[in-house]
């Protein structure tokens, strides 16, 4: 029964990341079938955490290694498995949904029948997941797959993405050798579903490090110079987009999204929460200099989280709602706002 292999595939994906849950349900199975044949889903379920050679996976599955190598290469081309050369051998790693295979299906920015179909199937699954997430049991991994790994403290992996203010993004660009960019996944999906966004989308979904080279080799993104990356971030700042960084020390995709609150499911969900700052690793918070504030109110509508409001002639900030993105500062004519470290910030390294 093919449904069983896709149920186990959901477990395998969750073992790698639960940033976007894989919940077994008819909508998930339909989406997964577009990306994995039943044979490839079985291979994915047999892959260990981290990289493995075809020989290692073939030995576990008791299948012909040449057959397996061919299937793995097709999975690489389809953007569901990542490959790298190590010690003269090709190694393969299964990607999770996010950050990982979903981005690689949409960052190319193409509008064709397959991508439209994927966008609709992902939308259907997103709705089903929203309804199921409160009642579904916690995600599980296959019984023979370890779900934890030891990493140095400075490489602690967070299940939540990190909100970065402008200056921190620029530091990230400065210290990263390889940067690639493609279309914003969420806004491109909006275009595919006839629900366009008026915010820019090109070159605003960025991948950093070795993952950038891999995604570029698939033709999904293009490599950027540091200057091109900075210009894209300046464009995002002007448009009021939030810099949302999903990093796992290149465990999967080291990804920086520049998100709008109208199409990004993570920002939309956070905005509905009474404490949006807990939906992310929010190490920063905006502070307002009351003496400098002119009470113009320009910052109020800029905030996706509704963390700002006017009290009398001054703008005031709700720290629980502030996620520390800093996009409000861009429109402050009096320079009355600045970013400060949040006292309860999570240390990420």
CATH code at 327?
A: 3.30.70.20
- Same domain for 300 and 243, yes or no, is no
Determine, yes or no, domain membership for 119.
yes
Answer whether 254's CB lies under 8 Å from 177's CB: no
173-197 confidence digits (pLDDT tens) = 999 999 999 999 999 999 999 999 9
Same domain, 216 and 180: yes
- Does one domain contain both 260 and 287? no
Residue 145 placed within a domain: no
User: Is residue 259 domain-shared with residue 290, that is, in the same domain?
Assistant: no
For the entire predicted model, the pTM comes to: 0.88
> Same domain, yes or no, for 8 and 56?
yes
Boundary of a domain, candidates 115, 132, 149:
132
Both 92 and 25 in a single domain?
yes
**Which of 132, 151, 183 is the C-terminal boundary of a domain?**
132
Fill in the DSSP letter of residue 157: P
Residue 146: inside a domain, yes or no?
Answer: no
| Residues 242 and 281 placed together within one structural domain of the fold | no
The rounded distance, in Å, linking the Cα atoms of 234 and 303 is: 17
Local confidence band at 135 (pLDDT 50, 70, 90 cut-offs):
low
Q: From residue 34, give the alpha-carbon distance in Å to each of 62, 94, 97, 193.
A: 26, 16, 13, 17
Angle between helices 26-35 and 113-132 (to 10 degrees): 150
Domain annotation covers residue 319: yes
Do 248 and 164 share a structural domain?
yes
Report the domain count for the chain. Answer: 3
Asked if residue 138 belongs to a domain, the reply is no
CATH number of the domain that 89 lies in? 1.10.10.10
125 in the same domain as 48: yes
User: Do residue 196 and residue 103 come from a single domain?
Assistant: no
Answer yes or no: is 154 within a domain: no
Q: Phi then psi for 181, rounded to 5 degrees?
A: -145, 150
Peptide bond into 99 cis (omega under 30): yes
Q: Which of 243, 125, 123, 133 is nearest to 186 (CA)?
A: 123
The alpha carbon of 270 is separated from its chain's Cα centroid by a whole number of angstroms, namely 15
- Residue 29 token pair: 């199975």
For residue 140, being part of any structural domain is answered with: no
Percentage above 70 pLDDT, the chain: 89
Res 151: pLDDT: 31
127 and 10, same structural domain?
yes
> Cα-Cα-Cα-Cα dihedral of 131, 135, 138, 143, to 10°?
-100
- End-of-domain residue from the set 236, 268, 300: 268
In a domain, 143, yes or no: no
Q: What is the pLDDT of residues 281-313, one digit of tens each?
A: 999 999 999 999 999 999 999 999 999 999 999
CA 151 to chain centroid: 21
Which pLDDT band, with edges at 50, 70 and 90, does 160 fall under?
confident
The domain in which residue 287 lies consists of: 275-341
Whether residues 14 and 100 fall in one domain = yes
- CA gap 285, 278 in Å, rounded: 12
pLDDT score of 346: 43
Q: 344: pLDDT confidence band, cut at 50, 70 and 90?
A: low
Kindly provide the b/e burial profile for residues 83-107, where b requires at least 16 CB atoms within 10 angstroms of the residue's own CB: beeeeeeebbbbbbbbbbbbbbbbb
Task: Look at residue 252 in the predicted model and tell me its pLDDT.
Answer: 79
**What is the C-alpha R_g of the chain?**
21
């Amino acid at each position: 029964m093919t449904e069983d292999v896709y149920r186990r595939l959901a477990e395998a994906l969750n073992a790698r990341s639960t940033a976007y849950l894989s919940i077994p349900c008819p909508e998930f199975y339909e989406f997964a079938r577009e990306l994995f044949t039943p044979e490839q889903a079985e291979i994915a379920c047999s892959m260990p955490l981290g990289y493995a050679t075809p020989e290692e996976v073939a030995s576990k599955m008791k299948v012909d290694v040449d057959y397996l190598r061919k299937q793995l290469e097709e999975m690489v081309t389809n953007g569901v498995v990542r490959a790298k050369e190590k010690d003269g051998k090709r190694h393969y790693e299964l990607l999770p949904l996010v950050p990982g295979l979903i981005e690689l299906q949409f960052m190319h920015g193409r509008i064709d029948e397959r991508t439209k179909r994927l966008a609709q199937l992902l939308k259907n699954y997103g709705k089903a997941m929203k309804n199921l997430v409160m009642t579904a049991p916690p995600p599980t991994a296959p019984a023979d797959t370890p779900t934890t790994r030891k990493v140095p403290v400075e490489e602690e992996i967070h299940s939540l993405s990190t909100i970065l203010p402008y200056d921190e993004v620029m530091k990230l660009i400065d210290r990263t050798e390889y940067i690639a960019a493609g279309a914003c996944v969420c806004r491109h999906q909006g275009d595919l579903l006839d629900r366009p966004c008026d915010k820019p989308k090109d070159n605003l979904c960025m991948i950093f490090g070795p993952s950038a080279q891999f995604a570029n080799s698939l033709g999904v993104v293009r490599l950027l110079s540091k200057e091109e990356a900075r210009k894209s971030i300046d464009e995002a700042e002007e448009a009021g987009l939030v810099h949302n960084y999903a990093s796992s020390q290149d465990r999967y995709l080291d990804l920086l999204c520049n998100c709008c609150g109208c199409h990004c499911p993570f920002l939309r969900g956070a905005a509905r929460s009474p404490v949006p700052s807990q939906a992310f690793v929010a190490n920063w918070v905006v502070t307002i200099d009351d003496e400098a504030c002119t009470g113009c109110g320009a910052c109020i509508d800029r905030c996706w989280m509704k963390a700002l409001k006017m009290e009398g002639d001054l703008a005031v900030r709700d720290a629980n709602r502030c996620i520390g993105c800093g996009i409000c500062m861009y429109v402050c004519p009096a320079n009355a706002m600045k970013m400060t470290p949040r006292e309860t910030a999570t240390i990420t390294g």
